[in-house]
Chains A and B, each alone.
Chain A
Amino acid sequence: MTDIIQKVKNLSIGFRSKKGEEILILKNISTNIKKGETVGIVGESGSGKSTLALAMMGYVKHGLYTIEGECQFNSSNLLKMKSKDLEKIRGRKIAMIPQNAGQALTPNLKIGYQIDEALQLHSDLNEKEREKKISELLNKVRLPSPETIALRYPHELSGGQQQRVAVAMALAGTPDLLLLDEPTTGLDVTTQAHVLELLNFIAKDTGTSMVYVSHDLGAIAQVSDRIIVMYSGEIVLEGPSRDILKRPIHPYTHGLLKSIPKLSLAGLPESMPGSQPQPGTIQSGCSFFDRCNFSDENCKNNSPKLEFLKDLNTSVRCFNYEKLVNESQASQTVNKIKNKSQDKEILNLSEVSISYAKQKLLDQIFNRISDDNPTVKDININIKKGETIALVGESGSGKSTILKSIAGLLRTKDGLIRFDENRNLSSDLKERDPNDLRIIQLIFQNPDESLNPNHTVEEIIAQPLKLYFGLKGEELKKNIVDLLQKVRLGEFYTSRYPRQLSGGEKQRVAVARAFAAKPDIILCDEVTSALDVSVQAAVLNLLQQLKEDFGTTYIFVSHDLAVVRAISDRVAVLYQGRLCEVGPSNDVYKFPSHPYTEVLLGAVLEPDPDIKPKLVAEDIVEERPPEKGCSFQGRCSRIVGDICKKEIPPWQLTDSGNAIRCHIPIKELQKEQF
C-alpha cells in the first residue's frame, strides 16, 4: 500500500515543428502526488502547467505527443492506456475542473439534469439514490437552496455559482484526484475567495487529492500543501508551500514574489526584466539566465539539474540557490510613486448617471433617457491634473461604463463631464471636436482585442499621429520610433504584427498608441489583468514612468486591489454603479471604513500563507441596484435596519479627507475594524 496516487516519471511532451525539429513543451518532469494532498502548480502562460495537468489524466492535446516518460495512476501508465480503459478512470477516479466552467456546462440543460448525467456515467447509483445525491452534492458546494439551483439553467447562475456546479459535477464520481486548471481565474475577488475556501473544505472533508494549476500565487498560497514552480517546461522549484512562499530559493520564484503588488505596501513593486523563452529556443545554459539577478558565467554554459535539498525538503534547479537561502522574501522594495498632482482640476464628473435601459418611443423622439434606476447613478468625482485615480469594484459595478461615457462612447442620462475647469464635454462622440477626442485616450484590458491583427505595429501607432497631427513620411517614422523607445521597444518592432509579440509587448504597443495622441487623460481599463504577473509589474512601472515624464492624468480601473494600491493616489469604490467611498489610497486601505470596501479588502488573496482572506459577505451577484436606500444593502453584514433600505446614506468625511457613504457614523465604522 502506497500513499502516492499519481506518479509522473521523466515526462517529456512536445511537438514537431514545420521544419521537423522536436520541440519540448515539458522537459523531463518527475513528481508524485500523494493521497489527500493539494499540490499547486504555478507558472506563467506557456510554462507548460496545463499540459502537465492534462497529462495527469492521460490526455495529450491535439498536435502534441508524449516523447518520453509516463504518468502512473494506480500503477498503470495513463499515457499508454486504451481510450476504453481511460474512460473508466476519467470522471470516476480523476476529475477535472476547467477554467471556464460556464462554457463547460451545456447551456440548454438544467443543472440538476447535468449533474444526474455525470452521476449516471460515473457512479452505480439508482434513480432514487441519484436524486438524493444531487441535493447532497449541491449542498456540499454550498449553493443556496440546492432544490432551486437544480431546476435552473447555467446562464441563470453567476460565474461563481457555475464554478460551484462544476465542482459538484466533478465530485459526482467521488474521484481520488481532482485536477483544477485556473478554476478561479476570471472570477471576482470576492467570489474567488469563496470558491477557494470551498475547495479547502472539500479537500479536508473528502480527502481527495487536488492538483491546482494557476498563474496566481495568491490563489495557490491559499490552497496548496506543496507548490511546484514551472518555468519554460521545467520544474525549477518544488517544496512545501510555506517554505516556497516564505523563502523562495529559486531566483525566478524570488523575483516573481517580489513583483506581485501587496496590499500592505504602497508603491510599485520591482519588475522582472524580459520574458520567458519561446518553446524551442536553443539554450546552452539555464533557461532563466536572461532574466536572472543571481547568474554567473557557469549559468550561461551549463544547465542546472533539479537538486533535492534534504534539510530544506525542497528541490531546486539553480547553481546559486545558496545565495538565496539566507535572503528572506519580506525584503520587498517598492518604487515610491511621485505624482506631482496639482490643485488644478482636469476632469470633473458631476451627478453623472448612465442607463442601458431600452428607451421607449416617446423618449427616443424627444431624445431623452428615462430610467428611474439607472446602471450608474449620481457619480461626483473631481480629478486633479497629474493624479492617478482608481475606480474599483466587482465586475458589473459600472467601472467600464463610466470610462465609456468619459470617452464619449456612451451617452449619459444626466450630469456633466467638465474638462479643464471650463469646458463641458458631451458624452456623445459626434458632438466632440477632434481636440476633445485627442485629450482623452483609452487603453484596454486585452491587447489581443485592442490591436488590429492585420496592422503592423507601425500602422497601429501611426493612426493617432496621422489623425491628430497630420504627420507623414520621415517625420511620422521618427515619431513612431521615438514612441516605441519610450515604451522600451526597439525600432525593429515597427514591421511586426501583434501576433508576433508577447502579451507584455502588445500592451506596450497599446500604451504607445495612447501616448501618441499626447493626451491629458488616459483611461486604463484593467490594463494589466490579462498579463502575466512577472510582466504586470513592468507595465505598471512603465505607465508610472510615462506619466511622470508627460504629466498625464490616469483614471485606472481595476478589480485587483493590490494593483490599485500600488499605482493610485486616490481610490473610488463603486458598488452597483453607486459610489461608496472616495479618498486617498492610503486612507482607503488603512481604514477600510465602508462595509463594502471592507469586503473587497478582506477577499484579496495574498501570496502569503499567513494572510487568509476574510469572507465578510455572501458572494451573491445582484442583478440590478436596489430601487431605494443604500446600494449595498443586499449584501451588507453591518446593515443597521430599515434606514439602509429606505434612505440613501449620507456622505461622511473622515479627518483625512476620506468620504464614506454609510448610515453608520464614522466613529463607529472605524472602531469595528478587523
Chain B
Amino acid sequence: MKLDNIYKEEKKSAVAKLSEIIITMASRPSGLIGLSILIFHIILAFISPYIAPHDFKAIDPTLMLQAPSAEYWFGTDDLGRDVFTRTILGGRTALTITFFGSLIALLWGGLLGIFCGLVGGKIDDVVMRIVDAFLSIPWILAMLLIVSLLGTSTEVLIPALGFFYGKGIVRVARAATHDVIAKDFIVSAKARGHSNFSIIWNEIIPNVRDAILVEGAMRWSWMLLGFSSLSFLGFGVSPPTPDWGLMISNARGLMSFAYWAVIAPIVGLSSLIIGINLTADAFAKALGIDRSTKAPV
C-alpha cells in the first residue's frame, strides 16, 4: 500500500467535514426544519431585490391600507406601500446587519475570552469584572445612547450590536479555554517548548472553536430579536428602509382593521428566529456540545 493512500483515507477535508455536519443536523426533524427555514430566508434575502413586485418606497395615498389582493399579496400599509415587497426586503436588512454583527461579536468575544482563559490571574479578573459590569447595563439603553450620538447607519449598528452581543461569547470562550488549558496535552506542548502562538493556534483553538461557534449561532438569534426591538422603538435603521421592526411598530396601531400589515413582518421575524434557533441547536448537537443557554423565544 502506498503511504499517500493511507493518508487520504480518514483525514477529511474541511468541506467533507462541513457536509457531514450538515447531514447530521438535517437527520433530526428539528434540525431539518431549522435549516430549511434558515436557508429559505437566506435565499430570499439574496433574490428579494430581483423578485420584489413593487417599489418598496413608492407611496401612493390612493392605495392606503388595502386588504390583500392578487396585485398586493399581503395588502398595503398606511402609506400605500406594498407589504409583500417590504416584508421580503426587510429580511434582507435584518439578516445582513445581524450576520455581520454576529461575526464581530464572535471575533472580539472569542478572542478576548480565549485570552482571558489563557492568562488567568489578575488580568482575567479585571477583564471579567468589566465584562460583567457591561452585562449589567441594560443594553437597550446603551444602544439608544450610541444610536442617538452616532446615528442609525449600518456602520454604527453592526459594530454596536456586535459589541453588545459579544459579551456572552467572552464567557463561553473563557470557560472553554479554561477547561482545555488544564489538559495534559497543553502541558505536554509547553514542556516541549512550542511557542505560545503555536499552542493557541494548534492546541487551544481547535478545541474551543466548536463551543464558540455554537454560542455565536445562538447569539445571532438573540441579536435579531434585539435589532428588531431597536427598530420597533425607532432606533434601528431609518425609514424608508424596509425593516420588520419598523413595519411592526408602524402598523401596530392599525392592527384592529389592517391586521395584514402587521402579520407579515411578525411571521417573517419569528420564523427566522426559530429557524436560527433550531439550526444552532442542531449544530450544537451535531458537534456533540451540550448547550444549556436558553433560546430567546
Interface residues on B, range: 20 to 34
When distances are taken between beta carbons in the complex, the residues of chain B under 8 Å from A468 are 192
Those of B156-207 within 8 Å (CB) of chain A: 183-185, 187-194, 202-203, 206-207
Q: A458-B7, A495-B7, A495-B10 given as contacts; is B192 within 8 A of A452 (CB)?
A: no
Distance of A431 from chain B, by nearest CB (Å): 11
Q: Is A494 an interface residue (CB 8 A)?
A: yes
**Are B11 and A495 interface neighbours, CB within 8 A?**
yes
Question: Which residues of A approach B to under 8 Å, CB–CB?
Answer: 407-409, 429, 432, 434, 437-438, 440-442, 444-446, 449-456, 458, 463-464, 467-468, 477, 481, 491-492, 494-496, 513, 517
Q: Of B3, B191, B206, which one neighbours A452 at CB under 8 angstroms?
A: B206
Q: Is B6 an interface residue (CB 8 A)?
A: yes
Q: A477-B3, A494-B6 given as contacts; is B191 within 8 A of A407 (CB)?
A: yes
**Are B6 and A495 interface neighbours, CB within 8 A?**
yes
Q: A449-B184, A454-B206, A456-B11 given as contacts; is B190 within 8 A of A492 (CB)?
A: no
When distances are taken between beta carbons in the complex, the residues of chain B under 8 Å from A438 are 192-193
**Are A437 and B188 interface neighbours, CB within 8 A?**
no
Q: Is B290 an interface residue (CB 8 A)?
A: no
Cα(A378)–Cα(B203), bound, Å? 36
The 7 closest A-B pairs by CB, nearest first: A437-B193, A454-B206, A450-B184, A495-B10, A444-B184, A449-B184, A452-B185
**Are A442 and B6 interface neighbours, CB within 8 A?**
no
**Are B11 and A446 interface neighbours, CB within 8 A?**
no
When distances are taken between beta carbons in the complex, the residues of chain B under 8 Å from A492 are 6, 9
**Are A442 and B207 interface neighbours, CB within 8 A?**
no
Cα(A517)–Cα(B206), bound, Å? 24
**Are B185 and A450 interface neighbours, CB within 8 A?**
yes
Does more than half of chain B's interface fall in helix, strand or loop, or is it mixed? helix
Q: Of A432, A444, A446, A491, which one neighbours B193 at CB under 8 angstroms?
A: A432
Most chain B beta carbons < 10 A, residue from A408, A446, A494:
A494
13 A-B residue contacts at CB 8 Å? A407-B191, A429-B193, A432-B193, A437-B191, A440-B191, A442-B191, A450-B183, A452-B206, A454-B206, A463-B202, A464-B192, A477-B7, A495-B7
A435 closest partner in B (C-beta): B193
Distance of B253 from chain A, by nearest CB (Å): 52
Cα(A444)–Cα(B7), bound, Å? 27
Cα(A517)–Cα(B193), bound, Å? 12
When distances are taken between beta carbons in the complex, the residues of chain A under 8 Å from B183 are 449-450
Q: A408-B191, A450-B188 given as contacts; is B9 within 8 A of A495 (CB)?
A: yes
A498 closest partner in B (C-beta): B185
Q: A452-B207, A495-B11 given as contacts; is B191 within 8 A of A409 (CB)?
A: yes
Distance of B123 from chain A, by nearest CB (Å): 15
**Are A494 and B7 interface neighbours, CB within 8 A?**
yes
Cα(A15)–Cα(B295), bound, Å? 32
Q: A449-B184, A453-B207 given as contacts; is B191 within 8 A of A496 (CB)?
A: no
Cα(A431)–Cα(B194), bound, Å? 14
| Further pairs besides A409-B191, A458-B7, A495-B7: 15, Cβ < 8 Å | A407-B191, A434-B193, A441-B192, A444-B187, A444-B188, A449-B183, A450-B188, A452-B203, A453-B207, A464-B192, A467-B192, A467-B193, A467-B194, A477-B3, A494-B6
